[in-house]
Amino acid sequence: MVSVAQAPVGLDKPIYTISVASEILETHPRTLMMYEHLNLIVPHRTSTNRRRYSQRDILALQAIQRLTRQHGLNLNGARYVIQCLRLLDEHDIERPTHLDGIDVSEVHL
């Protein structure tokens, strides 16, 4: 039997349905729809108009969840902090220590 090595899936490949994404994130699918309505995330749409989330979408949503759940921010505050963290990281400026664990390197909001 010949084994075929599979290429790694890119961060932007739309692979997760809304039900799978909500299960990964431990949230209700309606919450993901609300995030989409607020333009925090824009999932890919299939030809039949089904949502498909990429790994990058999941990473962004995990960063948002961490900021809202653990740090008490609202959604606009989470968006702002993610943008600020990206700027700090891009310019090699030290982050506040309590935000060190939030990975925004692959998040584009």
What's the pLDDT at 105?
Answer: 76
pLDDT in tens, 34-65: 999 998 899 999 999 999 999 999 999 999 99
Which ranges of the chain would DSSP assign to H, the alpha helix? 18-25, 29-37, 55-69, 75-90
Domains and CATH numbers, the chain: 18-99 (1.10.1660.10)
Using N-to-C axis directions, what is the helix angle for 18-25 and 55-69, rounded to 10°? 40
pTM of the entire predicted model:
0.80
* CB 54, CB 14: distance < 8 Å: yes
Identity of the residue numbered 32 = L
Is residue 74 over pLDDT 90? yes
Do the Cβ atoms of 43 and 52 come closer than 8 Å? Answer: yes
62: left (phi over 0), alpha (psi -120 to 50) or beta: alpha
